[in-house]
Amino acid sequence: MSLPELLAGVDRVLRVARKPHIHDIVPRALDVDGAIGTVRALLALRARAQWTDVLPVNPEPWEVLSLLLALLELAKLGELRLEQRRAFASFEITRDPASEAA
């Protein structure tokens, strides 16, 4: 087989091959401040909550990320504690008693 024949064969294969499916990525801003407000409001009403209590029903990925970042930020600030008993389990959100005294 000659090089021109080989290149012609590759050309035929490429013409027949399907175009790859490319996903459209839509940029979406996170709302960490809004999620912080939601968590603070819930913990003002009760001292404990579950992850599922603050997560909306059928959440969008940006809502999940916003909430996770909000929880981590509030834990860093000492306003709450997060406890997860095992990997991939739901976690409990507890208002930090030390932050109540402040």
Which domains, from first to last, does the chain contain?
Answer: 23-101 (1.10.10.580)
Pair type for strands 91-95 and 48-50: antiparallel
Q: Distance between CA 44 and CA 38 in Å, rounded? A: 10
Residues forming beta bridges with residue 10, ordered by sequence position: none
Q: Is the pTM of this model over 0.85?
A: no
21-75 per-position pLDDT tens digit: 777 777 788 999 999 999 999 999 999 999 999 998 999 999 999 999 999 999 9
pLDDT of residue 43: 95
pLDDT of residue 99: 67
Looking at residue 58, the DSSP 8-state letter turns out to be S
Q: Where are the alpha helices (DSSP H) in 29-60?
A: 32-45, 51-54
Q: How many CB atoms lie within 10 A of CB 90?
A: 12
Checking if the pLDDT of 78 tops 70, the result is yes
